[in-house]
A and B are shown apart, each in its own frame.
Chain A
Amino acid sequence: GQQVMQIPQYQHVQEGEDFTTYCNSSTTLSNIQWYKQRPGGHPVFLIQLVKSGEVKKQKRLTFQFGEAKKNSSLHITATQTTDVGTYFCAGDSNYQLIWGAGTKLIIKP
């Protein structure tokens, strides 16, 4: 079946360092969505990418959608404690969201 692989599973960073998570789909996607889940919370929508090669920015967050619409990345510049949580990608294919397993961002004390 369709799969969206997301890596890494965890990333430990010092506050102020950058963070990146990657998603790869086994099939071409109509669009890809990104969500953030704070510890103990529920997923909250961040952004949707639709066009091939699309790049969108939200302050320190940069989202990219690959040219073939099969991969995507989220990059956070200069992480802050408020960035802690798990970041999920969700690929839209045939009108169903296929979720990646998430990348947990952990800030080292």
Chain B
Amino acid sequence: NAGVTQTPKFRILKIGQSMTLQCTQDMNHNYMYWYRQDPGMGLKLIYYSVGAGITDKGEVPNGYNVSRSTTEDFPLRLELAAPSQTSVYFCASSYRVGGSEQFFGPGTRLTVL
């Protein structure tokens, strides 16, 4: 099993550009999450999904959108990139929503200039 995979690993965007961060998991987990981690900081939840077709906002959703058309895929869309979105983005998945470890992808390092 590959676990959670993310693409791309690195990306530089110009202000105002858009992009989609890809996330795929092969563990048949219903629950998936997007986090951002700013330098020297903890993880902040952007969006999460409890199953295909169901998504909800986390702590810092502004400037992002998600979709969940399949159990495996949970892409994160950045519209009109801003320097404040410079961060490392982690996708994660879990078997249950509570009391269940989260498995993380390797992350996407995004810089907005």
Contacts and interface: CB of A to CB of B under 8 A. Distances in A.
Contacts, number: 47
A30 B105 contact: no
Q: Which of B42, B98, B99 has the most CB of A within 10 A?
A: B42
Main secondary structure of the interface of A (DSSP, over half): strand
Interface in A20-47: 30-31, 33, 41-45
A101 interface: yes
Contacts of B107: 42
Contacts of B41: 101-102
Given A30-B98, A42-B90, A88 B42 contact: yes
Q: Is the interface of B mostly helix, strand, loop or mixed?
A: loop
Interface residues of A, number: 23
Contacts of B40: 9, 104
Given A45-B101, A95-B97, 8 more contacts: A33-B102, A45-B102, A96-B97, A100-B42, A101-B41, A101-B42, A102-B41, A102-B42
Interface of B: 40-45, 48, 58, 90, 97-99, 101-107
Interface of A: 6, 9, 30-31, 33, 41-45, 48, 50, 88, 90, 92, 95-97, 99-102, 104
